[in-house]
């Protein structure tokens, strides 16, 4: 390789030989720490680009407007087409708002819902439409029945039309101008939120297969958050997602904030952790946040946690600690809940 040759120039047989574990180990041994860190970054990026698509994304036949799948290169091309500076991010970062905008952000935020709606329009006539994950299906307008379309119109105070989802997305309805504006605004909003939902699901390990995820705060949409806060009698519940709650990106009345942080949050997190212990398919988080996933701790990790608390090691795994339930010492239960909260906050940052 020192002569300037690249892996790409190697014949297939030579490439396969070069990537045997023993050969790679020898190469790695000759690299500096800085070179290894650079290699790690490159490999991580490459793995992300090769990750299987969510649902049937790899088989679906019209995904060009699936923004959650856009690489940095595709984002750059898209922004060039609409005359905006390159934000130097991928599609997921666009969707979850991880971009520092200048004035051009307003133009993108105005155009994004239209692009998302066109994605839905693409799915009607394509041979293999995209099948979204369960958590995103309620906003997959292109999958709605005539009855669902009519229910949507009723909720907006618009007379039901008996029309299909395709006609709704295509704006092919007999509506008064005021109603048409109202309906189109909401359809655009749902289309963008749908892509945000899919993006979040694509970042969350096996969350779509998990069987007990109702207390997964990091996945709550605004409606779920509102229902949860209503249960603890928050009078003026903030309009926020679970991710925003976990990040503290919410304006609260002081009494409501205390009720959430000291009562509901730790209780909900502990219930989520114990749900996973008994779940048929427990949630398996992404590798980068597993260190705070209590129910996945082995005995050594659990005992190390107990030592840090000046508690005698119990020789139990994290799962076994959680199974103690009411037998857990109050301080230990509180500490496990705190770890669980940080675990969810880690997940929220990934979403």
- Name the residue ranges covered by the structural domains of the chain: 67-202, 217-350
| pLDDT for 52 | 42
d(CA 69, CA 51): 10
Total residues found in the chain within this entry: 351
Please report, for residues 193, 217, 234, the alpha-carbon distance to residue 237 in angstroms, rounded to integers and kept in the order given. 21, 16, 6
Please report, for residues 235, 249, 301, 310, the alpha-carbon distance to residue 305 in angstroms, rounded to integers and kept in the order given. 38, 29, 6, 9
Judge contact between 321 and 315, C-beta under 8 A.
Answer: no
φ, ψ of residue 189 in degrees (nearest 5): -60, -45
**pTM over the 0.75 mark:** no
**Helical (H) or strand (E) element with 169:** helix 165-169
Structure tokens at 155: 């909720």
Per the listing, tokens 């040759």 go with 5
| pLDDT for 1 | 44
* Residue 286 burial (CB count, 10 A): 14
Each residue's pLDDT, cut to its tens digit, for the chain (351 residues) gives 444 444 445 455 555 665 677 777 888 888 888 888 788 767 765 554 444 445 566 777 789 999 988 999 999 999 998 888 888 888 888 887 767 777 777 788 888 999 999 999 999 999 999 988 777 788 999 999 999 999 999 999 999 999 999 999 999 999 999 999 999 999 999 999 898 888 766 555 444 554 567 888 888 888 888 888 887 777 777 788 888 888 888 777 777 888 888 888 999 999 999 999 988 888 888 877 888 999 999 999 999 999 998 888 889 999 999 998 878 888 899 999 999 999 999 888 876
| pLDDT for 211 | 53
**Per-residue DSSP letter, 312:** -
Please report, for residues 40, 92, 224, 246, 305, the alpha-carbon distance to residue 273 in angstroms, rounded to integers and kept in the order given. 32, 27, 19, 16, 16
Please report, for residues 88, 100, 174, 227, the alpha-carbon distance to residue 106 in angstroms, rounded to integers and kept in the order given. 17, 12, 31, 31
Judge contact between 59 and 65, C-beta under 8 A.
Answer: no
φ, ψ of residue 304 in degrees (nearest 5): -65, -40
Structure tokens at 138: 């309620």
- Side-chain-side CA neighbours of 333 within 13 Å: the count stands at 14
| pLDDT for 23 | 76
| pLDDT for 22 | 77
């Amino acid at each position: 390789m020192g002569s300037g040759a690249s892996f790409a120039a190697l014949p297939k047989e030579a490439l396969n030989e070069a990537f045997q574990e023993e050969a790679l180990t020898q190469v790695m041994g000759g690299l500096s720490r800085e070179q290894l860190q650079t290699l790690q970054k490159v490999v991580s990026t490459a793995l992300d680009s090769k990750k299987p698509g969510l649902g049937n994304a790899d088989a679906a036949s019209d995904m060009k407007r699936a923004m959650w799948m856009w690489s940095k290169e595709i984002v750059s091309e898209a922004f060039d087409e609409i005359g905006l500076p390159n934000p130097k991010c991928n599609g997921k970062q666009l969707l979850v708002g991880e971009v520092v905008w200048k004035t051009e952000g307003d133009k993108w935020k105005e155009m994004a819902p239209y692009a998302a709606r066109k994605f839905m329009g693409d799915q009607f006539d394509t041979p293999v439409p995209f099948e979204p994950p369960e958590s995103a299906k309620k906003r997959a307008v292109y999958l709605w029945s005539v009855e669902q379309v009519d229910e949507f119109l009723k909720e907006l105070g618009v007379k039901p039309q008996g029309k299909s989802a395709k006609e709704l997305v295509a704006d092919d309805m007999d509506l008064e101008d005021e109603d048409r504006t109202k309906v189109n605004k909401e359809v655009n909003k749902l289309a963008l939120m749908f892509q945000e939902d899919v993006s979040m699901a694509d970042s969350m390990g096996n969350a779509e297969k998990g069987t007990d995820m109702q207390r997964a705060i990091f996945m709550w949409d605004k409606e779920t958050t509102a229902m949860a806060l209503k249960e603890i009698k928050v009078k003026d519940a903030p309009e926020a997602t679970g991710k925003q709650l976990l990040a503290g990106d919410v304006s609260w009345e002081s009494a409501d904030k205390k009720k959430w942080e000291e009562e509901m949050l730790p209780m909900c997190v502990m219930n989520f952790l114990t749900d996973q212990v008994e779940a048929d398919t427990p949630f398996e988080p992404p590798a980068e946040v597993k260190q705070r996933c209590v129910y996945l701790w082995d005995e050594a990790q659990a005992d190390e946690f107990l030592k840090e608390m000046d508690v005698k090691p119990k020789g139990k795994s994290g799962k076994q600690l959680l199974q103690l339930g009411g037998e857990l010492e109050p301080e230990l239960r509180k500490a496990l809940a705190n770890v669980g909260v940080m675990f969810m906050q880690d997940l929220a940052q990934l979403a």
